[in-house]
Structure 1
């Protein structure tokens, strides 16, 4: 699977990869520390991490993308590198096709759904964090004796549900949708979204007039752009 140039973002629950083959980029996602890559040479990978890094893969420290590499302003030292990379990527994309300077909101709908505001000058302006869809469901199941973690096959249609598992799913997704709607009402800023739960959320938002820029590989695209800048110096 490894080819000319490869990138790895180690997430909390999944690993995210970008691989260049000739002029094309391929993006894919795996379980942590995938067994199918156990014999691969990880030393040439450009990488970043928000999750734990296994010792057996031998990543090269000099190939790591750090927070200081991200050319946004006022990034706090404790900010997750995934948020910073997604924000930089979205900021660049918006700047390239809009004539009206304005800030933006970046939402990464992963294990934790992160919300990040970036001003029109590329300044980090804070954000919000909320448990992602599946984490909400597992938290309810783990925190209650009588609840089981439901498998998400479809999002229930009716507002009020009789089955407990459907009530959990409907409540969790509505909480995330409510946050997004409130963000738009309060800021009127364009929203850029990535993350594993983004397709589910966007499908639910089809029922509204909300327009969101969906770019599933914002984080990896940010890594690629920053690595190219570093190597061009």
Structure 2
């Protein structure tokens, strides 16, 4: 990210979602929302006057200027029938996806974990599934075997910062990348088939940092900013 791009972003009227490994930001523009994600750094810590609303599923820094009065919790997300244990990130993406289509929807949020969240045609939480995301699976493979490498995720195109691989790689690290991503995409596809057997009108929405790679395999368009759009919708920026 160039310094000029950071300076161009408005300091007021931002939204923040603290994830397990990255912080996700949004700021209003004339065209809608400008969204970006990055690992947390000291310079990213906003003061209360700069933040319209924030939510967190990952660790909140002990020493920060985040205003607790502007924090959204599960109770602030109008997702009907949401159980009290549901993560606010799952509630945000599920509610926004249903707002967008008004139909039964399955949301695959591919982050540190891959969460699958169903919403019925009336906008009510209808259960879901959770499994380890790509980075967690790679770390488990490295930790549980003697010869497989530890793949370190990095920013860039594709999952793990790599371009799309061949379908059947010969190199070990590439085989791990392809195997995990293909497995996650297959899990999403199977969940969608299950959901459509119960509700044929069910739509599928894919979001999260690894969502683009999964969406490509499933022939869909990712929607990486569902959670931030929900935050902005629930706590809109003041008018001019």
What is the TM-score when the length of structure 2 is the normalising length? 0.82
1:53 aligns with 2:53: no
Aligned to 2:157: none
1:78 aligns with 2:85: yes
Aligned residue runs from structure 1 range 133-172, under 5 A:
133-150=134-151, 152=160, 153-159=162-168, 161-172=169-180
Deviation track 1:131-166 (CA, whole Å, cap 9, x = no partner) reads: 11122112211222322123642343234x433222
User: Tell me, which stretches of 5 or more residues in structure 2 are unaligned?
Assistant: 1-8, 153-159, 197-201
Shift of 1:104: 0.8
Aligned to 1:98: none
Do the aligned partners of 1:74 and 1:124 also contact (CA within 8 Å) in 2?
yes
Shift of 1:121: 0.6
Aligned to 2:26: 18
1:90 corresponds to which of 84, 97, 106:
97
Do the aligned partners of 1:88 and 1:222 also contact (CA within 8 Å) in 2?
yes
Of 51-60 and 16-25, deviating more is: 16-25
Aligned residue runs from structure 1 range 1-233, under 5 A:
1-21=9-29, 24-32=32-40, 34-37=41-44, 40-45=46-51, 46-95=53-102, 102-150=103-151, 152=160, 153-159=162-168, 161-188=169-196, 189-206=202-219, 212=220, 214-228=222-236
Shift of 1:204: 2.4
Aligned equivalents of 1:166 and 1:22: distance in 2? 41
User: Tell me, which stretches of 5 or more residues in structure 1 are unaligned?
Assistant: 96-101, 207-211
Aligned in 2, Cα 1:23/1:168: closer, same or farther, shift over 3 Å? Answer: closer
Do the aligned partners of 1:118 and 1:125 also contact (CA within 8 Å) in 2?
yes
Q: How many residues align?
A: 216
Shift of 1:197: 0.5
Aligned in 2, Cα 1:154/1:26: closer, same or farther, shift over 3 Å? Answer: closer
Deviation track 1:152-192 (CA, whole Å, cap 9, x = no partner) reads: 42343234x43322222222112112112212322222101
Do the aligned partners of 1:106 and 1:116 also contact (CA within 8 Å) in 2?
yes
The alignment's C-alpha RMSD in Å is: 2.1
Shift of 1:228: 3.6
